[in-house]
A and B are shown apart, each in its own frame.
Chain A
């Protein structure tokens, strides 16, 4: 090593724990503060001998543990009672007893991680493999079976001439000087070293790349996409079975749907109006059924009162009012024909309304029409 050597400390070795404890007590008596004791394992009573204040790491554990608990509780409350409440097992949205296990685990996890990280990075300022005591004979001994004391040159009471005498007075053996190494003096913040930053960048790229690939590409490849890509006929999908390639088929010739009743007046609405008679008598049930169905199926275009003032007004060709002279004079059968086959923009409602439901709707429409064009006799 070239250049001037800067003194870091003086070290002394001891053979027994009693000796090193005594040495520590003496060092405190002498007024040294920047000194340390090294031993292969913790020595009972050394903290007292060195006059060390109690460790504050307990507070770190307490604060982070409580924060973890509070954070977990708030998250669980928000998730279960605010963001997407679901009734599970009949229990209330905010079921505190069920949250206790998770809160407990999160508390322990936060406290443990925080305490250890605080200890290593803040209290110890580790990792640090560039300390002057590394790679010395002293370190080899105190890591195995000897005990040592090290007094730093930075200590205000340190005096190179008298330090040797002091160490001899406490029966230290192998009194040596330890110097800073060249790199250790110039060593600065390791965080911003280019090698480390490059390493971080590589890790970020690899992690994000792998995640992207896994979630967006791999999950859609064999065999992970087996549940997604099933060998079954999906709607709109080409069929490999039928000659015309249509997956969606018409019902087989000659079959009829359940509840089907034939309609003989296709394309002849006026004839239907003459021939068809409303089989459903006007009753409370019929009107209520009619109202329900009307509100569901007819009101989007015709409005709730059949006046054509619907929610689709302005976005769709307006439907005519059902209270017009024309519609009022139409027979029930004629209206039935419109519902069955559709008219102009209005589609057929055979798939949404059964035959009986159509007659009930017609009863309701009649009621609406009567409401808007009531005769004086209706008031009695």
Chain B
């Protein structure tokens, strides 16, 4: 029997750390020149981004015909990628905001990085509604400004709700991220002797002085932002789910979509965050800050949300049968046994089966295994969106309208390229800003807070 002890609180960080040591460790990537590994990684992501630009250029020049979209499958990779990337973004806000509201101290090591990932993921996601328009330069019409047409945008359409939701999400995430950065930028300002860096840090830290009169308001605002960001993140993916659920298509119109999509977003987001963090902590020697305990907790969240996804699959299937509506029953049988069955079973294996391995503590704490499981989860969640969108569209009510969808090379270029775009931003981020929140991590070190004299 292992010596478990529930009487003591687990330390957030491993080992004893002097505060200055933490500062040095976190600021090191910013104070040193990039090494060869960085340039290799950057060249890979930039090549992928180049693929992205090429794919987009071909699309803009020749039109959406370069993609595999057809009638009836009018939405395919474009919207699958959109939902996928927005989902990735949700983990960041969940870690920063929701775990903050639950007072989970272990979030401090990972929140800055996760929020950064949110912003980059939302930027990547936001591109897709724009590029799938055919004439993307007219996308300004999505915003309800008074114009000479007199007609307004369709406020009752979930596609328009998306415009508001994604814009708000991007702006509020940026604000939240920036507010968290201010104290760290001020620390960096104090550390640096480099003239230009000092000016940049001074400007962006706004002259923050670490005054407790300011911390007082700062903490309240951080709580308010977290309190707003939580329903915001739920609302964004809910509105994305409305894109499908408000229709009448079997497989799309089902009331469980909103919480199911949100759970799925958190699930895939955490998988991506976990993957990237495992790499980051190794490269920058942050293993004592982003501990195996932290990774284990993230895996537990993946287990929880993965199980919610499994629940939703089962409930959808049951109610489709229960409803007695033939089109609904067919839609689900078609998913499992129709022409896209291969996609369906990849999805089920990756999403339902693989996270269940996290019931076992050993697997939760073994890094190579959890890394692979998270990759499977990412693949599975991409396929989930593919299954939902493509199978339901390719075979809906009228058999004479059924058609098979095949992606084109340009579709693939844009998919791979979007990863390049995303990872390029992350690489640049690691060298430009502290990827761990210096102030928050120092605040949860053992002995960082005054001991309680009962008041």
Please give the residue numbers on chain A whose beta carbons come within 8 Å of chain B beta carbons, in ascending order: 16-18, 21, 36-48, 50, 52, 55, 57-58, 61, 75-76, 79-80, 83-84, 86, 88-89, 91, 95, 98-99, 101-102, 104-106, 108-109, 111-113, 115-116, 119-120, 123-124, 126-131, 133-134, 139-140, 142-145, 219, 223-224, 227
Given contacts A38-B209, A76-B155, A88-B156, is CB(A115)–CB(B224) below 8 Å? yes
Q: How long is the Cα–Cα vector from A101 to B164 in the complex, in angstroms?
A: 9
Establish whether residues B165 and A101, one from each chain, have CB atoms under 8 Å apart when the complex forms. yes
Establish whether residues A84 and B151, one from each chain, have CB atoms under 8 Å apart when the complex forms. yes
Establish whether residues A80 and B215, one from each chain, have CB atoms under 8 Å apart when the complex forms. no
* Nearest chain B CB to A114 CB, angstrom units: 11
B20 lies within 8 A of chain A by Cβ: yes
Interface string of B167-203 (1 = CB under 8 A from A): 1100110011001000100110111000000000011
The residues of B that contact A57 with a CB separation of less than 8 Å are 217, 220-221, 224
Given contacts A83-B152, A111-B228, is CB(A145)–CB(B20) below 8 Å? yes
Kindly identify which residue among A17, A47, A129, A145 contacts B18, using a CB–CB cutoff of 8 Å. A145
* Nearest chain A CB to B260 CB, angstrom units: 17
Establish whether residues A91 and B207, one from each chain, have CB atoms under 8 Å apart when the complex forms. no
The residues of A that contact B107 with a CB separation of less than 8 Å are none
The residues of A that contact B235 with a CB separation of less than 8 Å are 101, 104-105, 108
Establish whether residues A44 and B155, one from each chain, have CB atoms under 8 Å apart when the complex forms. no
The residues of A that contact B400 with a CB separation of less than 8 Å are none
The residues of B that contact A134 with a CB separation of less than 8 Å are 207, 209
B448 lies within 8 A of chain A by Cβ: yes
Among the listed stretches B112-120, B295-303, B410-418, B439-447, which one makes contact with chain A, having 4 or more residues with CB under 8 Å of it? B439-447
Kindly identify which residue among B186, B208, B215, B228 contacts A42, using a CB–CB cutoff of 8 Å. B215
* Nearest chain A CB to B365 CB, angstrom units: 29
Establish whether residues B450 and A18, one from each chain, have CB atoms under 8 Å apart when the complex forms. yes
* Nearest chain A CB to B139 CB, angstrom units: 12
Q: How long is the Cα–Cα vector from A143 to B167 in the complex, in angstroms?
A: 34
The residues of B that contact A105 with a CB separation of less than 8 Å are 161, 164-165, 167-168, 232, 235, 239
Establish whether residues A124 and B224, one from each chain, have CB atoms under 8 Å apart when the complex forms. no
B23 lies within 8 A of chain A by Cβ: yes
Establish whether residues B190 and A102, one from each chain, have CB atoms under 8 Å apart when the complex forms. no
Kindly identify which residue among A48, A84, A139, A140 contacts B455, using a CB–CB cutoff of 8 Å. A48
Considering only CB atoms, which chain B residue lies closest to A145 in the complex?
A: B19
* Nearest chain A CB to B16 CB, angstrom units: 13
The residues of A that contact B168 with a CB separation of less than 8 Å are 105-106, 108-109
* Nearest chain B CB to A216 CB, angstrom units: 13
Establish whether residues A112 and B175, one from each chain, have CB atoms under 8 Å apart when the complex forms. yes
Q: How long is the Cα–Cα vector from A123 to B214 in the complex, in angstroms?
A: 8
Q: How long is the Cα–Cα vector from A227 to B207 in the complex, in angstroms?
A: 51
Number of A-B contacts (CB under 8 A): 201
Residue pairs across A and B with Cβ atoms less than 8 A apart, 25 shown, are A36-B213, A38-B211, A40-B442, A41-B440, A41-B443, A41-B448, A47-B212, A57-B220, A58-B220, A61-B228, A101-B164, A101-B235, A108-B168, A108-B235, A109-B167, A111-B224, A112-B228, A119-B217, A124-B206, A124-B214, A128-B206, A139-B209, A143-B210, A219-B137, A227-B135
Q: How long is the Cα–Cα vector from A109 to B165 in the complex, in angstroms?
A: 10
The residues of B that contact A43 with a CB separation of less than 8 Å are 212, 215, 449-450
The residues of A that contact B455 with a CB separation of less than 8 Å are 45, 48
Given contacts A46-B212, A57-B221, 16 further A-B contacts (CB under 8 A): A37-B211, A38-B210, A40-B438, A43-B449, A44-B450, A45-B452, A55-B221, A58-B220, A99-B155, A105-B235, A106-B164, A111-B228, A112-B225, A115-B224, A133-B209, A223-B61
Q: How long is the Cα–Cα vector from A119 to B238 in the complex, in angstroms?
A: 30
* Nearest chain B CB to A191 CB, angstrom units: 15
Given contacts A46-B215, A101-B164, A126-B208, is CB(A143)–CB(B186) below 8 Å? yes
B216 lies within 8 A of chain A by Cβ: yes
The residues of A that contact B155 with a CB separation of less than 8 Å are 76, 79-80, 98-99, 102
Given contacts A40-B439, A104-B235, is CB(A113)–CB(B171) below 8 Å? yes
B339 lies within 8 A of chain A by Cβ: no
* Nearest chain A CB to B198 CB, angstrom units: 10
B407 lies within 8 A of chain A by Cβ: no
The residues of A that contact B164 with a CB separation of less than 8 Å are 101-102, 105-106
Q: How long is the Cα–Cα vector from A320 to B187 in the complex, in angstroms?
A: 94
B231 lies within 8 A of chain A by Cβ: yes
Establish whether residues B209 and A18, one from each chain, have CB atoms under 8 Å apart when the complex forms. no
Interface string of B133-162 (1 = CB under 8 A from A): 001010000001000001110111110110
Q: How long is the Cα–Cα vector from A80 to B438 in the complex, in angstroms?
A: 49
Kindly identify which residue among B157, B206, B216 contacts A55, using a CB–CB cutoff of 8 Å. B216
Q: How long is the Cα–Cα vector from A26 to B237 in the complex, in angstroms?
A: 51
Establish whether residues A39 and B210, one from each chain, have CB atoms under 8 Å apart when the complex forms. yes
The residues of A that contact B5 with a CB separation of less than 8 Å are none
* Nearest chain B CB to A290 CB, angstrom units: 38
Q: How long is the Cα–Cα vector from A145 to B238 in the complex, in angstroms?
A: 43
Establish whether residues B206 and A91, one from each chain, have CB atoms under 8 Å apart when the complex forms. no
Given contacts A101-B161, A134-B207, is CB(A36)–CB(B212) below 8 Å? yes
Establish whether residues A143 and B190, one from each chain, have CB atoms under 8 Å apart when the complex forms. yes
Given contacts A45-B455, A52-B213, is CB(A98)–CB(B156) below 8 Å? yes
The residues of A that contact B151 with a CB separation of less than 8 Å are 84, 86
The residues of A that contact B452 with a CB separation of less than 8 Å are 45
Q: How long is the Cα–Cα vector from A109 to B168 in the complex, in angstroms?
A: 6
Establish whether residues A18 and B207, one from each chain, have CB atoms under 8 Å apart when the complex forms. no
Q: How long is the Cα–Cα vector from A290 to B410 in the complex, in angstroms?
A: 61
Closest 6 CB pairs of A and B: A145-B19, A41-B443, A98-B156, A55-B220, A127-B206, A42-B215
* Nearest chain A CB to B236 CB, angstrom units: 8
The residues of A that contact B186 with a CB separation of less than 8 Å are 143
The residues of A that contact B20 with a CB separation of less than 8 Å are 144-145
Given contacts A144-B19, A224-B137, is CB(A41)–CB(B183) below 8 Å? yes
Q: How long is the Cα–Cα vector from A131 to B449 in the complex, in angstroms?
A: 27
Interface string of B420-455 (1 = CB under 8 A from A): 000000000000000000111011000111111001
Establish whether residues B221 and A115, one from each chain, have CB atoms under 8 Å apart when the complex forms. yes
* Nearest chain B CB to A96 CB, angstrom units: 10
The residues of B that contact A139 with a CB separation of less than 8 Å are 190, 209-210
Q: How long is the Cα–Cα vector from A41 to B187 in the complex, in angstroms?
A: 11
* Nearest chain A CB to B452 CB, angstrom units: 8
The residues of A that contact B207 with a CB separation of less than 8 Å are 126-131, 134
Establish whether residues B224 and A17, one from each chain, have CB atoms under 8 Å apart when the complex forms. no
B9 lies within 8 A of chain A by Cβ: no
The residues of B that contact A21 with a CB separation of less than 8 Å are 450
* Nearest chain A CB to B383 CB, angstrom units: 27
The residues of B that contact A119 with a CB separation of less than 8 Å are 217-218, 221
The residues of B that contact A143 with a CB separation of less than 8 Å are 186-187, 189-191, 210
- Most chain A CB within 10 A, of B23, B137, B154, B228, is at B228
Establish whether residues A109 and B171, one from each chain, have CB atoms under 8 Å apart when the complex forms. yes
The residues of A that contact B190 with a CB separation of less than 8 Å are 139-140, 143-144
The residues of B that contact A98 with a CB separation of less than 8 Å are 155-156
B242 lies within 8 A of chain A by Cβ: yes
- Most chain B CB within 10 A, of A38, A105, A119, A144, is at A105
Q: How long is the Cα–Cα vector from A128 to B239 in the complex, in angstroms?
A: 40
Establish whether residues A17 and B448, one from each chain, have CB atoms under 8 Å apart when the complex forms. yes
